[in-house]
Structure 1
Amino acid sequence: MPPGNGIITINFQNISLEYQSTCAYDSISVYDGPTPSSPLLAKMCGDQYNRVVKSTRNDVTVVFATDSSGTKSGFHAEYSYVVTYPPCGGNLDVSGSFSSPYYPNYYHDNAYCEWRLSAPSGQRVLLIFSDLELQGCCSCDYIAVYDGPSVGYNQLGRLCHNSSLDTFHSSSNHMTVLFRSDSSVGRRGFRAEFISSLSASKGHVECSLDNMTITISRSFLSSEGFTGDDLYVNDLYCRPTQNSYEVVFRFPKNHCGTTRKIQNGWEIYNNEVRTYPNNSADITYLPQFYLSVACHMQKDSISQIMYVAHDRLKFNVTGSGHYNTTMAFYNSGFYQQIYDDPYYVSLNEYMYVQVSLGNPDSRLVLFLDTCMASPDPQDNSNHHSHYLLANGCPRDSTFYSYTSGSQYYARFRFRAFMFLRTYPSVYLQCKVLVCPANDYNSRCRQGCRTREARDLDPQLAMTTVVLGPISLRG
């Protein structure tokens, strides 16, 4: 049977059997399941017309029985099967998670699901997509996110098969998420989490490859009964700075008592901000301010979540950021960077390229997924591009990789090609992945893979770096 819960309808249009009050002679029995031991839906005999029997599940069993005497013309029946899909969408409050129908199995055709998310008054909604795999057609299957309580509000974004995992913030305490699929080709779908978040004017957190910055409004602290002088992080020696409006903690995210762990492909950094304990008393009745800060870093993207617990009140503050990756030309030994702009080369001359994290980090590795040359830095279409590398597999005979997927940088070389005779200058574009160094099952460790990019692990997210222009000498 097709996926989904189905109902089987049987229309016995004409029944002509030997009659007995208990249908003990000749009979038709219909069972609500795959065997005659399933619940009995109906037992029929005698003369009947247009008798309709409906199942409650995907399977039904029909048994026709006769005795040793007395025959009549029998029966004729027609049946139909109608799929009833599980309910999707609905109203969700404060925080939680939701996913496409049947996730992580394939979603059904012609899905239409609306989730209306709401946060407490004065707060806003943060939406985080943790998994995404849709049909390879953006007008067929897609997710749309709206900044309000219905699809009539402004659209914050639209996700389809080639979208990176992303985060969305509402401007009010309402957000609507719409998922639609067409009549063909399902995929695994998506999973998303949402939380209630303080407005940015009260507090926010920013994370980069190196630093964690926690900013709290002094007026918000004052309304809760605290000042910046009352606060500290896990390391008492890491003190905040203050101005007339804000209290700011800024420190390297590997310092000040920050802890780090790997979970479901994410690097998670945690710290806390709280009020100083009262060491002069064993018991205190004063309210305590507690701020838990978490930076969730996945491949080339970062999401941050922190919440404040004050007595029984909870607040969330969120932010986002990205890894910083760079690409540059080098000499043949990778000892010296070449800063020429444009970079003039001769045909068949070797060019040496390094792609690296903005700041070295031995706990991360960088993998080259795809590299191409294009006359336009914004154009990566097949018609105008020359591929050096695709899905980690060399596509140009002169391409050679020195390292990829084992260091926080990747190095390769290739020869200047005839492409430069057609266009006055070209740009080099590379899609790269960043993975934890100790995750030996990550895409970064798998090397060449012939499957298309959309078949990669859905938790992977890519970033594109561009280098150029490259021009032909003379």
Structure 2
Amino acid sequence: MQTLRQLLLLPLLAALALVEDNSIESTGVPRCGASLHDLNKALRIELNANASCVWQIQRNANQTIRLIFSYFKFAPSSSCETESIKVYDGPSSNSPLLGQVCNDTDAVPVLQSSSDSLTFLITTNSAAFTRNFFVFYYYFSPETKIENCGGQLTGPNGTLTSPNYPAAYPEFAYCVWHIQTAKNSKINLKFQDFFLELDQNCQFDFTAVYDGLTTNTGLIGKVCGRAQPAFESSSNVMTVVLSTDYANSYKGFSAQYTSAPLPGPVEPDTLLTCSSDSMKIVLSKSYLASLGYNETHLQLNDPSCRPVITESVIFSFPLASCGTTKKDDGQSITYTNIVSVSATGSIITRQKSIQIIAKCKMENNSTLEVIYITKSNIIQNTTAVGRYNVSMSFYDSDSFSKPVRQSPYYVDLNQTLFAQVSLHSTDPNLLVFVDTCIASPRPDFGSLTYDLIRSGCSKDDTVVTYPTLEHYGRFKFNAFRFLRSFPSVYLQCDILICDNNNANSRCTEGCISRQKRAISSYTWKTHTVVGPIRLKRELRSADHSESLTKADAEETPNLQHYNFYTLSFVVLISNIIIAVAVILKYHKHQAGYSYQRIQTSY
């Protein structure tokens, strides 16, 4: 009966998907490039050889764009160098490169802008082949969360359901579940109930499952429609994604995962962590012993850097030391060092030669850690993504020697304020550049903002920027206040970090218009906030109000005594007046005077 019901549903689902498919094709989107201003839109793109087409998405929405390439088919023989989709974080292809999609992409690419504009460029090679792409985008507010949408699952087994299950899932949902079980185990994921929009290529609503903790690579499968799919990971981590569009919502899914031990030898027990100024590699003694080594056999690129031996072997060293190499690939800076484990003996050996290659990849506002180790000349790779530690403070003078610790920072109107952005890193070959600084009366930087610096250019007449100095970016401006009686000013700055060996980096260009900004011109970006700043007259007003309140409190008992004496005096006078009136009346009666009623005639 259940099978029959599913068979009857399939034609209906296919018909609904066909209706949505036809509505997309009828939108009249130009085949090669377009300028798009809708809040959301789905595009079916078909290109032939030697194409170079640009789509620009821009709208004054004060929101973020999510762009999803749910289906792409390049020429079979193409490479990433000859055929690709490049996505730029801004209104043109001169904006910073956000990501790239090509034939080797092992994922469903989902890219998110940092503002309300985004651009993507599709180029094809000379091969005679029809390329097909399906992409949709929508604007959304990152702070708006969908209830029960994604999360972290860490037990040996557990369940996950789509939002609102078993009711219809919401539109424009993007939910990510990260599953992590015990080491040396694998994950089995089975969907007991699964009902998403049916489409041959799962372009509209889909669930994607990844063999790892990221959604950038390792796609196991993408499913939609009516099914009971099952997936298995190769390790103890798995990621599940639900993505939905604007139409045809169904009940979603209910899934259960279990974990099971991995067969074969024990996996190497290693750990790599990356910070703004150091790298830390931890190796277990038991793993080294299983290979026939102990801690005396280990060394870094610089053999003089020795580990600390406890229950584990720990290498901890600054990023720019111990023979660490640095590579700038235009999108990130990677620090690499190698732990060598060499066999003993001068002529022959029966031990495996091992290398542990540790990489700290400093990416834009993200943290990733990777480590890999060789077994019998097989490299086990470990990579970690780290963040640079950046802070911003006010200083009392242009010597920038004494930071202002008080908060709020009370200043005089038009007083010169000195601000410094500091990069806390041991790598001396980095530059800091203050790209943009905006002020706002609110800490959430809502609709009311004022530009001090934009794209490295001073937008306020009082702003003066100082030359770049090692790990510091400095500028000054005169204090001001917002109209409409806002009491505070907050400052938010976008900070770029570049390799100073790159003479053409964004950090060395200074003020430049957005239209002329170079591609991939910086390697790392973050923002920092400082405030509030308030005027001293408000401080004096507050002190004056406090003193008035205190004086009022001291005078209150005196006023109460005064009121008591006044009331007593009034009562005494009233009693005297009443007594005098009674005496006068008595004397009148004694003199023979009396009142006589006057007769009234009718």
Coarse TM-score class (shorter-chain normalised): 0.5 to 0.7
Matches within 5 A, 1:16-35: none
The Cα offsets for residues 405-424 of structure 1, whole Å up to 9 and x where unpaired, read as x6421111111112177222
**What are the within-5 Å matches in structure 2 for residues 363-442 of structure 1?**
363-377=429-443, 379-381=444-446, 383-404=447-468, 407-419=470-482, 422-442=485-505
SS in 2 for 1:371: strand
Are residues 114 and 267 of structure 1, via their aligned partners in 2, closer, same or farther at CA, if it must alter by over 3 Å? Answer: closer
Structure 1 residue 174, shift from structure 2 partner: 4.6
Q: Name the CA shift for 1:466/1:171 in 2 (closer, same or farther; >3 Å).
A: farther
Alpha-carbon deviation of 1:309? 0.6
Counterpart contact for 1:116–1:174, Cα < 8 Å: no
Does the aligned pair in 1 maintain the 2:431–2:507 contact within 8 Å? Answer: yes
C-alpha displacement of 1:2: 3.5
1:224 and 1:173, CA in 2 relative to 1: closer, same or farther beyond 3 A? farther
**Alpha-carbon spacing, 1:232–1:58, altered in 2? closer, same or farther (3 Å):** closer
Query: Which amino acid letter does the alignment assign opposite residue 437 of structure 2?
Result: C
Residue correspondence of structure 1 range 105-124 to structure 2 within 5 A:
none
Rate the CA distance shift 1:322–1:413 in 2: closer, same or farther, 3 A.
same
Residue type of the alignment partner of 1:416: A
Q: Partner of 1:139: helix, strand, or coil?
A: strand
Equivalent residue, structure 2, for 1:208: 275
- Cross-structure match for 2:514: 451
Aligned residue number for residue 139 of structure 1: 138
Paired AA for residue 73 in structure 2: P
1:357 shift after superposition: 0.9
SS of equivalent residue, structure 1 residue 444? helix
The 5 Å alignment of 1:110-189 reads 134-135=118-119, 139=138, 147=178, 151=207, 172=236, 174-175=238-239
> Deviation string for 1:58-111 (max 9, x for gaps)?
89xxxxxxxxxxxxxxxxxxxxxxxxx962699xxxxxx98997324999xxx9
Give the C-alpha shift of residue 286 in structure 1. Answer: 1.5
Which structure ranks higher in relative contact order (CA pairs < 8 Å, sequence separation ≥ 6)? 1
CA distance in 2, matches of 1:414, 1:468: 14
Q: CA 1:270–1:418 in 2, change beyond 3 Å: closer, same or farther?
A: closer
Q: What is the DSSP-based 3-state SS (H/G/I as helix, E as strand, rest coil) of the residue aligned with 2:374?
A: strand
Structure 2 unmatched runs, 5+? 1-29, 34-46, 51-70, 94-100, 121-135, 141-171, 180-188, 190-205, 217-232, 247-265, 538-602
Q: Which residue of structure 1 lines up, in the alignment, with residue 559 of structure 2?
A: none
Is the Cα contact below 8 Å between 1:363 and 1:438 reproduced in 2?
yes
Q: What is the CA–CA distance in structure 2 between the aligned matches of 1:414 and 1:200, rounded to whole Å? A: 57
In the alignment, what sits opposite 1:233?
300
Question: C-alpha distance in 1, partners of 2:267/2:323?
Answer: 25
Other-structure match for 1:87: 73
- The total of aligned residue pairs comes to 349
Is 1:2 matched up with 2:67? Answer: no
Structure 1 residues without counterparts, runs of 5 or longer: 5-55, 60-84, 91-96, 118-126, 160-168, 183-198
SS of equivalent to 1:422: coil
1:295 has 2:351 as partner: no
Structure 2 residue identity aligned to 1:311:
S
1:307: Cα distance to partner?
1.5
The answer to whether structure 1 residue 260 and structure 2 residue 326 are counterparts is yes
Structure of greater Rg: 2
Note if contact 2:332-2:524 (Cα within 8 Å) is conserved in structure 1: no
1:298–1:153 Cα change, 3 Å: closer
Residues 276 and 416 of structure 1, relative CA distance in 2, 3 Å threshold: same
The one-letter code matched in structure 1 to 2:293 is F
> Any conservation in 1 of the 2:356–2:379 contact (CA below 8 Å)?
no
Q: Is the 8 A contact 1:373 1:429 kept in 2?
A: yes
CA distance in structure 1 between the aligned counterparts of 2:304 and 2:439, rounded to whole angstroms:
50
Match of 1:243 in 2: 310
Rounded Cα–Cα distance in structure 1 between residues aligned with 2:436 and 2:464: 13
Structure 1's 102 and 318: CA in aligned 2 closer, same or farther, altered over 3 A? closer
- The separation in 1 between residues aligned to 2:241 and 2:515, in whole angstroms, is 28
- Could you say if the C-alpha distance between residues 353 and 311 of structure 1 is closer, same or farther in structure 2, counting changes exceeding 3 Å? same
The amino acid across from 1:103 in the alignment is I
Deviation per CA, 1:28-71, whole angstroms, max 9, x where unpaired? xxxxxxxxxxxxxxxxxxxxxxxxxxxx9789xxxxxxxxxxxx
TM-score by length of 1: 0.60
Q: Partner letter of residue 151 of structure 1?
A: T
- SS of corresponding position for 1:357: strand
User: 2: CA distance between counterparts of 1:266 and 1:224?
Assistant: 35
Aligned mate of 1:324, from 389, 392, 404: 389
RMSD (Å) for aligned C-alpha atoms: 4.9
Q: Any idea what the Cα deviations from partners look like across 1:252-283, whole Å, max 9, x if unmatched?
A: 222222233444354333221122442x4222
Q: Is the 8 A contact 1:346 1:472 kept in 2?
A: yes
Residue in structure 1 matched with residue 407 of structure 2 by the alignment: 341
- 2:299–2:305 Cα contact (<8 Å) kept: yes
- Residues 170 and 452 of structure 1, relative CA distance in 2, 3 Å threshold: farther
Aligned pair in 2 of structure 1 residues 249, 361: CA closer, same or farther (>3 Å)?
Answer: closer
- Counterpart of 1:47 in structure 2 is none
* 8 Å CA contact 1:114, 1:179 repeated in 2: no
Q: Provide the C-alpha distance between the structure 2 equivalents of 1:364 and 1:327, rounded to a whole number of angstroms.
A: 17
Give distance in 1, aligned partners of 2:298 and 2:466: 49
| 1:368 to partner: Cα distance | 0.9
Residues 392-450 of structure 1, C-alpha deviation per residue, up to 9 Å, x if partnerless?
Answer: 1222222111225x642111111111217722222211111000112121111222233
Alpha-carbon contact 2:409-2:533 (below 8 Å) kept = yes
Instruction: Give the Cα–Cα distance (whole angstroms) in 1 for the partners of residues 239 and 377 of structure 2.
Output: 25
User: Is the 8 Å Cα contact of residues 402 and 411 (structure 1) preserved in structure 2?
Assistant: yes
Question: 1:139-198 CA deviation, whole Å, 9 max, x = no partner?
Answer: 269998664888266997899xxxxxxxxx99845557899999xxxxxxxxxxxxxxxx
* 1:210–1:460 CA distance, 2 compared to 1 (3 A): closer
Instruction: Show the counterpart of 1:67.
Output: none
Sort the Cα spacing of 1:346 and 1:231 in 2 relative to 1 into closer, same or farther, 3 A: same
Structure 2-normalised TM-score?
A: 0.48
The separation in 1 between residues aligned to 2:119 and 2:321, in whole angstroms, is 43
**Is the Cα–Cα contact under 8 Å of residues 422 and 473 in structure 2 kept in the other structure?**
yes
Looking at structure 2, the residues matched to 464 and 316 of structure 1 have their Cα atoms a distance apart, in angstroms, of 31
CA distance in 2, matches of 1:89, 1:408: 46
Letter in 1 for 2:450: H
- AA in 1 matched with 2:354: F
Cα pair 2:440 2:490 within 8 Å, conserved: yes
